[in-house]
Chains A and B, each alone.
Chain A
């Protein structure tokens, strides 16, 4: 018997390659994906990932080209030389330093307000029961669904009466009152995060003598930090990229004299500003800037999203993790 068993073992070792095994390897079992399936998934993921990265790659490569490269049909991706001159002229044409600071102010201050207020309101809705809570939820969802264009006109008139147009107040006050840019989503995100904080934790804190505010700051906020990060990131990005409302509220009727010039809005009128820049640089006797082309435009666009990209890559681990861990969707 023992001999036989050994023989069988040897036989198995001798013929490691069978069709069944190959099939198992290629198609996989129920528990494990096979090689082919895995390959297929990877191909799809890489392809779609490429589609997602394609515009950015395209932008980067184009931004380094000069006119001859652009016109040369043989050059698709790699420019003949790394040219930083496009960036240089875009930076000076956009007045980059000032508009960067302006953008950070215009996006940052309302974002901070929004994070604070959505945290407060989200906590209030998640933790306490009060009369009219359902109505509040209903209104939040209603205002989420309602196209903002309906409200733009009366709000504009109201701000005009209050003298807020052309100042940052028209961004800050709504965000303090929970009616900022897409505030409803942030409130709902915060609500779902705070709902996941175990009630017993808060109760334990209150038994130990913590008041409502203290249990909010010391218990609930730290456990929902991931959610607040998501809110902050989204809010900042959306405020940063908002050009419609910025032009309407912050720039006001005379856009030329507005105190804030955000990068994105500068980008909208980039052609004009670049033309004036080219004219002045030519007149001042320096080397005349080349007339506007796609490369310079791309360089300007790249510059406008560069801060966001940097922020995303710095925060991306926490961001992805916080979504992984708790989910932004709630129940």
Chain B
């Protein structure tokens, strides 16, 4: 919290003084030779910082210094709109309690801050460097030779399946993320109903949370238990193939083939949605019902807008989870295997990881763009208002400056005339 204090020092030589601050001029005149106290000079601004009287007291003690001292401390003398000399003093205004609380905040977050520097930012930078290097493990440790984009070229040339894998991954995500999110939302809505046996259903529905990340999914995947055999018919395959372009149809077929798996991945998402739906104020629904809204309308107008942030969260979570899942994702296993291959090494693997991450991050960006919370209309208007105020203030300042300039000109002119009169000359345009 920085508060700007304007300290004014009137120069007596300046003849023109606008009428509104003549009072201040008188005050300043008496103080000019002695010490200047900011707070006393501007009582209106002193009232502002009544939040912390202790800080005020301190300030008073501190600011018993002359203008010269203030200037010596590095503050700059400026001219304000009215042509007065102004010193802007920045005063730190944090109370003791706040400073102590901030310290405690750092204390509590200390482990994370250390971890972020050593285990997040440093490896990130190093990984970026690795990407551009040929990293070899030798007897003397790691040797890094800069190769620029060479790693990428090598990946393009040598890993023929990697690129197609990336494409397949992308299409799978495009299909499965919406399916999982919509399914999770539906299930959360159903679980939120007031039904008998709710507890049992919830226990069952949260079960995937426990099992899904584990070896069971890999096992089931291998078994082919991920598909419901009724769906997996050639007629559906053919229709999908003929109806849709190639890249989409392969993704959809994959989704149909592993529908059970996809549903299994929805465990955490159901949980998040359920928690969000339960938090919606029931009076909203009551009000809507009184106004004649049907359940369908309530869903679209109340439930969905309220849980929109959760949709973003869930879509992101799904994407991140699926992209890091060892069971369904060949790419990360490939990267790990490449890492230990003697001829390819860390640099090569890192380049692959960056390519993969680029795709994931692009998708994250798309999701974020789609579901990012739009700013509230009220806040928008407030901002507009503020901008407008700022502009107006600026204009006002400008016009004040212009006025001051004109005043000065006029005063000069008057002075000249008076001098001329005193000299006994005839004045043009003057009234006698």
Chain A residues in the interface with B (C-beta under 8 A): 30, 33, 38, 41-42, 44-45, 48-49, 51-56, 58-59, 117, 120-121, 123-125, 127-131, 133, 136, 139-140, 143-158, 174, 176-179, 187, 212, 234, 237-238, 240-244, 248, 253, 264, 267-268, 294, 297-298, 301, 304-305, 308-309, 312-313, 316, 319-320, 323-324, 326-329
Contact = CB atoms under 8 A, between A and B. Distances in A.
Given A124-B109, A212-B104, A323-B271, A154 B127 contact: yes
B199 A136 contact: no
B347 to A, nearest CB: 9
A145 B211 CA distance: 23
Given A117-B112, A147-B324, A124 B123 contact: no
B272 interface: yes
B contact patch SS: helix
A26 B171 CA distance: 43
A295 B222 CA distance: 14
Contacts of A158: 122-123, 126
Contacts of B228: 51
A52 B204 contact: yes
A297 B207 contact: no
Contacts of B356: 147, 149
A48 B187 contact: yes
A49 B111 contact: no
A265 to B, nearest CB: 9
B357 A320 contact: no
B285 to A, nearest CB: 11
Interface string B105-120: 1111101111110111
A51 B267 CA distance: 12
Interface string B311-336: 00100100010011010000011011
Given A147-B356, A149-B332, A327-B275, A187 B112 contact: yes
Contact of B201 (A45, A253, A304): A45
B117 to A, nearest CB: 9
29 contacts: A45-B190, A51-B263, A53-B204, A55-B216, A120-B108, A125-B105, A129-B98, A131-B102, A136-B109, A136-B116, A145-B364, A146-B357, A147-B323, A147-B356, A151-B127, A152-B353, A153-B353, A154-B126, A158-B123, A174-B119, A176-B111, A177-B111, A242-B213, A244-B332, A264-B215, A305-B215, A313-B203, A328-B272, A329-B272
Contacts of A243: 215, 326
Contacts of A294: 223
Which of B98, B340, B353 gathers most chain A CB within 10 Å? B353
Given A128-B108, A308-B214, A327-B276, A52 B205 contact: yes
A237 B116 contact: no
A127 to B, nearest CB: 7
A48 B263 contact: yes
A165 B356 CA distance: 25
- Counting contact residues on chain B (CB < 8 A from A), the size range is 35 or more
A323 B274 contact: yes
Contact of A133 (B98, B105, B276, B360): B105
Given A145-B361, A305-B214, A151 B105 contact: no
Contacts of B332: 149, 244
Q: Which 9 A-B pairs have the closest CB atoms?
A: A124-B108, A177-B115, A128-B105, A327-B275, A241-B214, A178-B112, A130-B105, A130-B102, A154-B126
Contacts of B375: none
B310 interface: yes
A253 B137 CA distance: 13
A contact patch SS: helix
A150 B350 contact: yes
Which of A30, A150, A187, A243 gathers most chain B CB within 10 Å? A150
Interface in B191-247: 191, 193, 195, 199, 201-211, 213-216, 219-220, 223, 225, 228
A320 B198 CA distance: 11
A155 B119 contact: yes
Contacts of A146: 124, 357, 361
A320 B216 contact: no
Nearest to B307: A329
B349 A41 contact: no
Contacts of A329: 272, 275-276, 279, 310, 313
A124 B202 CA distance: 32
Contacts of A301: 215-216, 219
Contacts of B320: 144-145, 147
B339 interface: yes
B152 interface: no
B172 to A, nearest CB: 15
Contacts, number: 246
A58 B109 contact: no
Contacts of B102: 128-131
B210 A153 contact: no
A179 B333 CA distance: 22
A46 to B, nearest CB: 9
Contacts of A41: 190, 193, 195
Nearest to B217: A55
Contact of B279 (A123, A151, A313, A327): A327
A164 to B, nearest CB: 12
Given A53-B204, A144-B316, A328-B271, 9 more contacts: A121-B109, A125-B109, A128-B101, A147-B357, A178-B116, A237-B213, A308-B211, A309-B211, A329-B272
B360 A147 contact: yes
Nearest to B187: A48
Contacts of A30: 289
B126 to A, nearest CB: 4
Nearest to A142: B120
B77 interface: no
A234 B102 CA distance: 31
Which of B108, B116, B213 gathers most chain A CB within 10 Å? B108
Contacts of A136: 109, 112-113, 116
A41 B197 CA distance: 12
Nearest to A120: B108
B207 A312 contact: yes
Given A157-B142, A177-B115, A177-B119, A53 B207 contact: yes
Given A139-B120, A177-B111, A327-B279, A55 B225 contact: yes
A178 to B, nearest CB: 4
Nearest to B121: A139
Contact of B120 (A125, A129, A179, A324): A179
A133 B102 CA distance: 10
Contact of A241 (B120, B122, B124, B215): B215
A178 B115 contact: yes
Contact of A305 (B202, B210, B264, B278): B210
B182 interface: no
Contacts of B275: 323-324, 326-329
B211 A153 contact: no
